[in-house]
Amino acid sequence: MSFTSFAFLIFVGATVLVYYLAPIKYRWIVLLAASYFYYLEASAKSFVFILFTTVVTFYGAVRMGKADDEHKKYLAEHKEELTREEKKARKEALGKRKKRIITLVLILDFGILACLKYFRYYLGALGVGMFSGSAGVLIPLGISFYTFQSAGYLFDVYRGKTAPDQNLAKFALYISFFPQIVQGPIPRYDQLAKQLYEGHPFKYKNLAHGSQLILWGFFKKLVIADRIGTLVGEVFINWDQYSGWPVIIAMFGYAIQLYMDFSGGVDIARGVARCMGIDMARNFRRPYFAVDLTDFWRRWHISLSFWTRDYIFFAVAMSKPIGRLGKKCRKVLGDRIGKLIPVFIGQIVVFLIIGMWHGAELKYIAYGLYNAAIIISGMCLEPYFVKWLKMLHINREGKPFTLFRILRTFCLISFGRIFSNGESFHASIHMMASIFRPYQGNFLDAYTAFALTKWDYAVLFFACLTIFCVSLVQEKRYNYKKAHDGGGAQIIAMVGADAGKETDAEMREWIDEKSVLIRWGLYLALFLAVLLLGVYGPSYDPTVFIYREF
């Protein structure tokens, strides 16, 4: 049941209706039933995997919570008897006990992910027995999303940031909430769980704002992503037949397609949740306005970026072995680079995980390492860039240089995307090299092969211009707030729950303030654009969201 199918709209409409008809204290049960129905309908054969992850994670967290409670109770009862050394010893014993529990649960959760998404691929590629030729093996719907979500919850319980959930059914809802299961975002327990468990009263504004987000997501996906996908697919599938300008067009086209597809899906998910009064984390903050790759990853797939930062990067970069290595490197490489060594290692590990999160193939590992290499190179060369800019009298904060940085970052990102969309690592390298070779074929033949008409190009131009203008207004508002009240800086520092929320909400509030005629005129125009310009037809497959099985 794809997000863009008519059946999904009927399903959402029925769910919202039943949700508001049910007594408020039982509305979470409606959400759980709807979520399990959606998952069973989409992936019945793999339902056991999400159920296993839910149960194992729940009881693992409960065991850690009990260990904490027992420790606190013992300290309270023997407060006067225990020496400082005995308290320290019991605390260390508690830490070891919790570490054993979380390690076991993480091995079980990530073991399933590894077996289904990675081991089977590599064994199949090697031609090992039953896995030979298993390129199309079953991948449970949203397995990477709900596995990372479960792990984040476990880490928060382990650190004492979150109290373990005591209701298995409610926790099952948190893991399986159907709008997020397909494309995310990866929610934090303290951001989403309470919203799911408490019933929300009906508000027309929630329904209106949710519908706006759904329609906006449809516009991105059906009008832009699926239309430009025909061009991108032609070049990336027949990668050995193209060079020069067709590859460049496909490279930039894929960057646009991926953003419209992924962010459009997340907009639909957030819109469905918003219809029932639930605020889901915003996963994008205008990423193609980023001025460097570090800025880009604060804006792109925000929930994954902040997940890896909080649970991987800090754990690696601030670990004692890496700290000792950094001290040794200062003596050899100098104080500045030596201090950055832990950061470099943390970045490499993070982007290896981000790359492998996308898939098992070598091309995804290369994609992760490419991003790490660009970021690390930028950090190493930063002092030299500053000197060169001073020598050339270039204002780093000026609009011309900012525009240059945005375009440069977009080019670097688009170039790296060839790895993630290429047919293989070899094909990706071939395409990257072919960019710098002139196209040998006929211009009209290539133009025809793209299967896009002049009408399609016109639609793409005006649709992308619409997205750009809206994004530009939001970015200007965001920068204004950041400059005048520090709101933007606070939002960047957050875990992405409300990243960019202020400009997103302001646009909807701006629409609310308009007259009924203007407001419904905008709704009708967007609806007709999706209905009349959306890519439908015999060859259209509405089930294919790029991130559907991640």
pLDDT value of residue 118:
74
Q: Are residues 67 and 196 in the same domain?
A: yes
The answer on pLDDT for 364 being more than 60 is yes
Tokens encoding 483:
């400059």
Tell me, yes or no, whether 147 and 11 share the same domain: yes
Reported confidence tier of residue 216, pLDDT bands at 50, 70, 90: very high
Compute the Cα dihedral for 26, 30, 31, 36 and give only its sign: positive
* Residue where one domain finishes, among candidates 202, 236, 270: 202
> 500's torsion region: left (phi>0), alpha (psi -120 to 50) or beta?
left
3-35: pLDDT as tens digits: 888 889 999 999 999 999 999 999 999 999 999
- Measured between its terminal Cα atoms, the distance across the chain in Å is 16
Q: What confidence category does residue 547 fall into, taking pLDDT thresholds of 50, 70 and 90?
A: low
Contacts of residue 26, defined as CB under 8 A and 6 or more positions apart, other chains included, come to 199
User: Is 153 inside a domain boundary?
Assistant: yes
Residue 41 lies in a domain: yes
The residue ranges of DSSP E strands in 311-393, in sequence order, are: none
Residues 417 and 446 in one domain: no
Residues 12 and 55 in one domain: yes
Q: Which domain covers residue 125, as residue numbers?
A: 6-180+191-202
Q: State the chain's mean pLDDT as an integer.
A: 85
- What was the pLDDT predicted at 98? 92
> What's the total number of domains in the chain?
3
**Pair (278, 306) in one structural domain:** no
One domain, residues 149 and 130: yes
pTM over 0.85: yes
Say yes or no: 264 and 361 in one domain. no
- Residues 397 and 331 reside in one and the same domain: yes
Residue with tokens 């979500």: 149
Comparison of pLDDT for 285 and 478, the residue scoring more: 285
Asked if residue 487 has pLDDT above 60, the reply is no
- What contacts 121, CB < 8 A, 6 or more positions away? 134, 135, 137, 359, 360, 361
Rounded Cα–Cα distance for residues 98 and 92 (Å): 10
